[in-house]
Amino acid sequence: MSSFTSEKIETVFFDVDDTLFDQRRAHRLALKEIKERCSEHFHGVDYRELVEAFERADQKSIEDFREGVPLNEIREERSEDMLRELGIDVSFSEELTELFYEIYPSMECGMKGVEEVVKGLHGDRILGVITNSSKEVQMRKLKTLEIIDHFETLVFSEEIGYRKPDGRIFLEALGRVDCKPQDCLYVGDSYRSDVVGASRVGMHTCWLNLDGGLNGDVEPDVIISELTELLEYL
């Protein structure tokens, strides 16, 4: 049950990946296209096998990211790990990484109800984005979803040097819109990065809980399973 008063919420910040943009689906669609375009490299590799190898490599990359490894290194290592598992020459990794980031951010993979939610809140609330990634990649996603013009500010971790759950990235965003944390709601799918991080600076939080379960002591103000449920609280 929500413990905050929605009428006091002036600003709503969103995470991007798996909150606004369906990263999981985009990954899989991008891999399918890459397999078709680079069939000479993936000859004999089943699509499901490709996806599973990528997802294992991606999980390792998430752990490396949390340890502070730079994004460019993570992306290259993920490609190498995937190719190595599939028995494919890792000399293809650089080309694979470039192709992946050419295709993946341009996939039309919005989370269910994203347009309805963002356009529905625009005008009533100040809207912004706080995301752990590079400006170039995340901007392309928001442009593909045709919602980028609805945000007053966009804060990218690789641009300012702080990553969620570091409270400084949230404070940077609050400063840009001149909003007090108690008058702000942060919406994201990651309990650790989004709920814990935003709570540290006094923001209200909405957890888009896609997988079920609550693994921590910080309780979100709102828990939803689909993005459109947010409109019931605002």
- Tens digit of pLDDT for each residue in 111-123? 999 999 999 999 8
Supply the mean pLDDT for the chain. Answer: 93
In this model, does residue 216 exceed pLDDT 80? no
Which string of b and e fits 91-113 if b means at least 16 CB within 10 Å?
ebbeebbebbbebbbebebbbee
Helix (H) or strand (E) holding 97: helix 93-103
- Tens digit of pLDDT for each residue in 3-46? 567 888 999 999 999 999 999 999 999 999 999 999 999 988 99
pLDDT at 69: 87
DSSP string, 139-165: HHHHHHTT-GGG-SEEEEHHHHT--TT
- Tens digit of pLDDT for each residue in 120-147? 999 899 999 999 989 999 999 999 999 9
Are the C-beta atoms of residues 103 and 30 closer than 8 Å to each other?
Answer: yes
3-state secondary structure of 211: coil
pLDDT grade for 103, boundaries at 50, 70 and 90: very high
Domains defined for the chain, CATH in brackets: 6-22+110-232 (3.40.50.1000), 23-106 (1.10.150.240)
In this model, does residue 213 exceed pLDDT 80? no
Give the span between the Cα atoms of 73 and 225, in whole angstroms: 33
In this model, does residue 1 exceed pLDDT 60? no
Mean pLDDT of 54-79: 91
In this model, does residue 172 exceed pLDDT 60? yes
pLDDT at 71: 85
pLDDT at 3: 53
Q: What is the pTM assigned to this prediction?
A: 0.92
Are the C-beta atoms of residues 218 and 199 closer than 8 Å to each other?
Answer: yes
Q: What are phi and psi of 176, to 5 degrees?
A: -70, -30
Q: Which residue spans within the chain are E strands per DSSP?
A: 11-14, 126-131, 153-156, 184-188, 204-208, 222-224
